[in-house]
Amino acid sequence: MIGAKACAWVAALSATGLALVPTGASGELRSRDEAELALGEGNCFACHAAADELVARVQPAPGPDLSQVGARVAPTYLGAFLEDPHATKPGTRMPDLLAGFPDEERCSIALRLAHFLSSLGGPFDATPTSGYAAEIEEGRQLFHEVGCVQCHAPQQEAWELEYTFRELEEFDASELVRTTREPTPGVAPPRDVPLGELASKTSVDELARFLADPLAVRPAGRMPSLGLTDDEAHDIAVYLLRDQASGVEHFPGLAYEYFEAPFVNEVPVPDFDVLDVERVGTVTDMLHLPEHRDEEFGFRYRGFVRVETPGEYTFFTSSDDGSRLSIDRAVVVRNDGPHGMTEESGQVALTAGRHAITVTYFEITGDDALEVRWEGPGVEKAPISSSHLSHLAASLRPPGGGFRVHPALAEEGRAYFAELGCVACHTTGDATLDALPRPEAPAFDALRDDAGGGCLADEPRARVPHFELGERRAALVALLRDPAPLTTPQHPEQRVAATMQRFGCTACHSRGGEGGPHPDRRAYFYIKGGFDIGDEGRIPPALDEPGAKLRPAWLERVLFDGGVARPYMATRMPQFGADNLRGLPALFVAADGKPGDAAEPPFSLEAVENGRRVVGVRGLGCINCHTLAGHESLGIPAVDLARLYDRLQPDWFRRLLTDPIALNMNTRMPEFWVGGKSPVEGIYDGDPDRQIDAMWSYFSLGNAMPLPDGLVVPDEVYELRPTDAPVLCGVFMKDVSPRTLVVGFPEQTHYAFDVQNSRLAKLWRGRFFNTRGTWQGRAGALEIPAGENVLDLPAGPAFARLADAESAWPDAADGEALRALGRSFDEARRPVFAYALGDVTIEERPFPEVVPGGTKMHRAFRLTAPHAIDDLWFRGPAGRRRVEFKPRGDGRFEATFEEVVEW
Amino acid sequence: MVSSILLACATLAFADDPVEADYYRIVDVAVPEELVFEVGAIALLEDGRPMVATRRGQVWILENAYEAGAEVVCKLYTEGLQEPLGLLVHPDGWIYTCQRGEVSRMRDVDGDDVMDQLETVADIGISGNYHEYLFGPRLGADGDLWITANRPFGDEPFGRAPWRGFALRISTDGKVTPTCSGLRSPAGIEVAPWGDAFYTDNQGEWCGASKLSHLEPGDFHGHPWGIESCKLAAWEYGYPGDPPNGMLMPLVPDVIPSFKLPAVWFPYDKMGKSPAGMVWDTTGGAFGPFAGQLFVSDQHHASVMRVFLEEVDGHWQGACFPFRYGFQCGAIRLAWGSDQSLLVGMTNRGWGGRGNSPWGLQRLQWTGKVPFEIHEMRATPDGFELVFTQPVDARTASDPKSYALESYTYELHESYGSDEMDRAEPTITSATVSEDRRRVRLAVDGLRAGYVHELHATGVRAAEGGAPLLHAEAYYSLIRRPAPATSRGD
């Protein structure tokens, strides 16, 4: 069946217009180095025997492990790829073994090989996978920020990532700001490792599995692990395979959206439409909540319930806290408000077929649970089974459906696999194949006599691997003719450079001014959380002298154990496999290390104390920018000081402090000892050397460092306590506005006035306010009242023009907005707010009154208008009232009234 | 033994060289220690008392501020302002300020030094991000108020507000006119004595080097963060165009005609890292020899820099010079005291830098001695003219080898800051000393418009005493080159 189409695969796949891109990481190489690199990347010594030293020197990269390839790759792709690897995946390292065969035979062999490979771990599961817009969006961001695009071509321009997919589609071109990167004059474009046409190659699940642990399939480490979680790998896979989307289908279970919000202000039922979705996913049962945080979260499940027998159905929700269930958009179960585990139910008559179902659920605090059940004709009260639940999603349909391995063809393919020497590069899990000897080929030393022939011949020959080396071919031929350089011993520096090139380290890290991010790719490095840390927060550090800078143990942790010094950097340090880079730390030390310079300064408790003082805010203020043992800094989250001692060598630390600019031109780290003078004169008489030594002694305590002055300030310091007069503070207030004035009274009864929208927003009693979020560090936190009995006044404006008492009260966004005019004070220095609605001027003076049993808040109003008005209404917690204006005698009209809020 | 003798000699020589403190003395303003004096703004009241707004939202009136050693008395004028970073004592009797989301004005009605009335002059949209600061206002020549607005970084919990990353004008009737786009972190704004507005911006993404720039209606200053707002109806000058990412700055105006090159670039680290407040020297000489020039504070270097400006071919440009280092910490505000000393207000909260204090207020006093400095560096058609504060020694000053000149420019791009790009060393072919020995004309081969010309006049000596310059460096941003003088004809 597939044989007849075999030759068409190539045409179909190669018609996709993929640009021809050369293999390799970024950066230019001298041709000889390039050729040497090619020996390893082409795995030449797998066939051509060479001395052990030479093999070790080039660190050959064998091909992928094929023991599960039948499950991983669609059979159609396998056939097409084998038939013509260079056309199917331009730039692939895989040589063409069939190039020298006549067309017909080539198709026939490729077909048999495809059957054989599909039998390894197969069959390939071509079942469609659901794909959600949110997953594609997340995968798109991850693909472009975790580091993939430093080796592979980006699929979006950096400016496009400032917009969501939907915005890019919906916005008019004139609404977009496009900061396209201009090609840098004189710089070659990045050399991207090709991905091929993934949508025709594999499925979401298989690609995700590969991305989560690429070393399992490709142990040579050229494709490193980025430490992706299963969810992240899934999202990237959905994004990369988005072209498989082939319409919308029902998938089993319900789709859910997960929210995080306090919900206290929104009971009995939250309005999920106004909240940001934290995560999406699917569930197959309605008895267990998907992953969530402990408190203050919610879920909205949506999809369809399938009814077999028409009739009256009862739905039940059992939840802590509240939940609701709707069928076909009508509420059936109301289990509203915060409460412990409570069951509620409701009936609805349903026809046979699918009906839309929505379940919302929220949790404020305490225990959490949600269970949904149903009961109806022929259905005992029970959970709704997954086969009765479905949801709609884009259907990502992998290729290769309907294929079956033909055992006879597979057996013939196995014979070809052995005969063609595929075993030289690939393991299969087939013990007999894997034990086969190296294919027959001239020893490496003998190649000089036929340097332009064999694998490197222009005209491919049957059974001889055919590489598409492009510019590298000539360099390789030259090297084969004169292989002497391969036996010239390499300096450690040369070995470091070759290793960095081989594993693509230079795509992110420069060394000695060479390599480093390609200018066209720098925009794809990001800082998490939008902190203003500059390029040091997003571009991986130069590896100018890690052997002299870092302790060997830390180098090993970074390379082999996921050690992270810069948690704010979005791009991740890949893991290349410990076996592949085992020798690199020692090489760095050999190339960079300065033995003898690494002596530790003397340690003493006195030095620790002095170091502590130097680091604090009355010293050099290191903690203005640096985190310390997990305590946030007062500003940006620069590297943790408690990790320095484990990471850095003392001599390098001294050089950094003495002249930070010399180590990194653009560092934002200040040089403190300008002209050899310390700004901290009271410690060691300002002697910079001794101060640096003291800091080192202090840092040596790691997480046990005593806290420096000014880092951890007790809440007490930021607490505002009105004692004899009102206290005012301007803040960003959560759920109110970024222009909010909080006013505290000695009566311990306080309010928040929203200046932005000219409305009294919150009242409370007890503790007034803690300013830490507004007064510490860069501040700008969304604040909340500190006290108790918090009352939220009705949302929207307190005044509105209405046609009659029954008219709907306008939202803040409707009609004419209130406009802030300012504030003055009464005789007790209590604020009097002035604002306007059209030509009506309103003064509002809120003040507490002490009464038996507690306090009330008075709101004294005075309104003036240039003409008579009879349609102005006020709304407070107690309801609406019409404002009665009276002539003032000067042609203007005035209204005064007082509203008393009791709560 | 030998080395310690050499060391001693070196120390002696060093001790003989003039130092900044010989000419300008830093004096503490001793505010009570318990006050958190994170200075956001300083203004001088009509009676000469300084008024200081803090980042915590308090406004203080200071008494005894000019008496050395005296305990300063701080009177609380008001509190509850939202991070006020500017104060303007207006001729109309009000004191204007900027809070995060509005321009406000305040007054003390009954004369008890306590604010009685605050009016909202203009609402400025705000999204609730920590980096949304407003700077100013400053009074323009036509009575308009000028303010500048930072771009936010990260969260915008109340939705993205327009006009962040802009300079705006507010007319006397409260109308807000967005005026210039593309600002990044415009921590200082000032109106020159001749009526033009200038602002300082901090190096970062889309801002290759810290700079002082002239603000003219419709300018685009390089940062694309907020230019979506240029597609709104309230923007009168048209969308500037999508900025090229990775282009040498002097080439950008060809692509974006409204792209404004700065008046002065402050090369990174050589001239601070975070320029902030500024004042023109309006002391008429009471503060030393720099009347009419501009002083700019640097938050990171805890320093004050000096700027000379001239108008060349319709563009304001000039040179910056080091002036005075060694303040307590991040110097963000400057204001003249009533005794013609320079008040320097400081805070390093959230932004680290040199120094040893979290906040501070100091004064810089002229000692009456004139330092030997490059007073002016002017562009000429064939090079530069240097004007010195004292007569120069003709032998050293006329030797081209006494000078070193280098030129470079910056790239407009999304990365944080720019390297010094396209470097070259123009040749000084001659140095001609004027008759009064105050001026030296440098003839230069290889001048490039759009480039910083970094001069080190290390070999020049004073005529009297033979001292070297107190600061031998000058950085001239040669945006435009003066046209060759045309012959008068008749």
Q: Is A488 on the interface with B (CB under 8 A)?
A: no
Amino acid occupying residue B431: A
DSSP letter for each residue of A268-333: TS--GGGSPP-EEEEES-SSSPPS--SSSEEEEEEEEEEESS-EEEEEEEEEES-EEEEETTEEEE
What letter would DSSP give residue A3?
A: G
pLDDT computed for residue B16 by the predictor: 67
Please enumerate in sequence order all residues whose Cβ is within 8 A of that of B179, keeping only pairs 6 or more positions apart, or say none: B146, B166, B167, B168, B169, B215, B217, B218, B219
pLDDT computed for residue A19 by the predictor: 26
Q: Is A130 on the interface with B (CB under 8 A)?
A: no
Q: Which tokens belong to A518?
A: 């390609």
Q: How confident is the model at residue A184 (pLDDT cuts 50, 70, 90)?
A: confident
Residue range A631-642: mean pLDDT, rounded? 92
In the block, tokens 């530069």 appear at B384
Among B120, B243, B273, select the one facing A821 at the smallest CB separation: B120
Q: Which residue of A has its CA nearest to B273?
A: A668
CB atoms within 10 A of CB B323: 24
User: Do B204 and A538 contact (CB within 8 A), yes or no?
Assistant: no
Among A617, A741, A756, select the one facing B80 at the smallest CB separation: A741
Is beta strand B102-107 parallel, antiparallel or unpaired with respect to B117-123?
antiparallel
Q: How confident is the model at residue A839 (pLDDT cuts 50, 70, 90)?
A: very high
Residue range B401-426: mean pLDDT, rounded? 95
The answer to the question of residue B293 being in a domain is yes
The answer to the question of residue B381 being in a domain is yes
Q: How confident is the model at residue A60 (pLDDT cuts 50, 70, 90)?
A: very high
Beta bridge partners of A875: A880
pLDDT computed for residue A7 by the predictor: 47
| pLDDT, tens digit, 9 for 90 and up, residues A423-437 | 999 999 999 999 999
In the block, tokens 């323009």 appear at B140
- When divided into structural domains, chain B yields a total of 2
Q: How confident is the model at residue A24 (pLDDT cuts 50, 70, 90)?
A: very low
Q: Measured between alpha carbons, how far is residue A705 from residues A116, A631, A699, A776 in Å?
A: 62, 11, 7, 22
Q: What residues of B are in contact with residue A158 (Cβ under 8 Å)?
A: 245, 414
Q: Which tokens belong to A580?
A: 């592949």
The answer to the question of residue B448 being in a domain is yes
Q: What residues of A are in contact with residue B243 (Cβ under 8 Å)?
A: 179
Q: What CATH number corresponds to the domain at position B140?
A: 2.120.10.30
Among A531, A743, A756, select the one facing B101 at the smallest CB separation: A756
DSSP letter for each residue of B162-213: TTTT-EEEE-TT--EEEEEB--S---EEEE-TTS-EEEEE--BBTBSSEEEE
**Residues B361, B396: one domain?**
no
Residue range A549-570: mean pLDDT, rounded? 94
Query: Residue A589 above 60 pLDDT?
Result: yes
> Looking at A175-184, B137-146, B329-338, which range is the least confident one?
A175-184
- Interface contact flag, A621 B102, Cβ < 8 Å: no
Among A159, A532, A756, select the one facing B153 at the smallest CB separation: A532
Query: Residue B13 above 70 pLDDT?
Result: no
**Residues B395, B362: one domain?**
no
| pLDDT, tens digit, 9 for 90 and up, residues A779-793 | 899 999 999 999 999
HSE (side-chain half, CA atoms, 13 Å) at A525: 29
User: Do B126 and B151 contact (CB within 8 A), yes or no?
Assistant: no
pLDDT computed for residue A673 by the predictor: 83
CB atoms within 10 A of CB B198: 25
Average pLDDT, chain B: 94
Q: What CATH number corresponds to the domain at position B450?
A: 2.60.40.1220
User: Do A228 and A128 contact (CB within 8 A), yes or no?
Assistant: no
Give B 47-76 residues with CB within 8 A of chain A: 55-57
| pLDDT, tens digit, 9 for 90 and up, residues B248-285 | 999 999 999 999 999 999 999 999 999 999 999 999 99
**Residues B87, B196: one domain?**
yes
**Residues B155, B227: one domain?**
yes
- Interface contact flag, A158 B158, Cβ < 8 Å: no
Please enumerate in sequence order all residues whose Cβ is within 8 A of that of A102, keeping only pairs 6 or more positions apart, or say none: none
Q: Which tokens belong to B175?
A: 């109308």
Alpha carbon of A119: minimum distance to chain B alpha carbons (Å): 50
**Residues B153, B35: one domain?**
yes
Determine which of A668, A673, A742, A745 to mutate to test the interface with B (most B C-beta atoms within 10 Å): A668
| pLDDT, tens digit, 9 for 90 and up, residues A3-20 | 333 444 433 333 332 222
Listed residues B366, B388, B411: the one ending a domain: B366
**Residues B237, B378: one domain?**
no
Q: Measured between alpha carbons, how far is residue B322 from residues A533, A740, B311, B379, B384 in Å?
A: 26, 42, 21, 19, 19
Q: Which residue of A has its CA nearest to B418?
A: A666
Q: Which residue of B has its CA nearest to A635?
A: B350
Q: Domains (ranges, CATH) in chain A?
A: 3-53+63-126+402-487 (no CATH), 130-242 (no CATH), 249-396 (2.60.120.1560), 492-592 (no CATH), 605-704 (1.10.760.10), 720-901 (no CATH)
A215 alpha carbon, distance to own chain's centre? 22
Which domain covers residue B35, as residue numbers? 20-366
Give A 730-769 residues with CB within 8 A of chain B: 730-732, 734, 737-739, 741, 743, 755-756
Query: Cα(B68)–Cα(B29) distance, rounded to whole angstroms?
Result: 8
HSE (side-chain half, CA atoms, 13 Å) at A152: 18
Among B154, B204, B273, select the one facing A531 at the smallest CB separation: B154
From the list A550, A631, A621, A535, the residue with the least C-alpha distance to A591 is: A550
Q: Which residue of B has its CA nearest to A276?
A: B157
| pLDDT, tens digit, 9 for 90 and up, residues A455-476 | 888 888 888 899 888 878 888 8
Determine which of B354, B357, B408, B421 to mutate to test the interface with A (most A C-beta atoms within 10 Å): B354
Residue range A745-773: mean pLDDT, rounded? 97
The answer to the question of residue B224 being in a domain is yes
**Residues B189, B239: one domain?**
yes
Q: How confident is the model at residue B384 (pLDDT cuts 50, 70, 90)?
A: very high
Three-state DSSP state, A892: coil
Listed residues B366, B382, B406: the one ending a domain: B366
In the block, tokens 């057996």 appear at A411
The answer to the question of residue B14 being in a domain is no
Query: Residue A268 above 80 pLDDT?
Result: no
Residue range A312-335: mean pLDDT, rounded? 94
- Interface contact flag, A175 B118, Cβ < 8 Å: no
Query: Residue A306 above 90 pLDDT?
Result: yes
pLDDT computed for residue A812 by the predictor: 66
> What percent of chain A is predicted at pLDDT more than 70?
95
The answer to the question of residue B8 being in a domain is no
Q: Which residue of B has its CA nearest to A522?
A: B415
Listed residues B346, B366, B386: the one ending a domain: B366
Residue range A138-148: mean pLDDT, rounded? 95
Please enumerate in sequence order all residues whose Cβ is within 8 A of that of A489, keeping only pairs 6 or more positions apart, or say none: none
The answer to the question of residue B39 being in a domain is yes
**Residues B317, B428: one domain?**
no
Amino acid occupying residue B286: A
Q: Is A713 on the interface with B (CB under 8 A)?
A: no
**Residues B362, B391: one domain?**
no
pLDDT computed for residue A665 by the predictor: 65
**Residues B342, B411: one domain?**
no
Q: How confident is the model at residue A133 (pLDDT cuts 50, 70, 90)?
A: confident
pLDDT computed for residue B359 by the predictor: 95
pLDDT computed for residue A675 by the predictor: 78
The answer to the question of residue B261 being in a domain is yes
**Residues B108, B148: one domain?**
yes
**Residues B441, B417: one domain?**
yes
> What percent of chain B is predicted at pLDDT more than 90?
89
Q: Is B117 on the interface with A (CB under 8 A)?
A: yes
CB atoms within 10 A of CB A625: 24
Query: Residue A813 above 80 pLDDT?
Result: no
Q: Which tokens belong to A559?
A: 């390379």
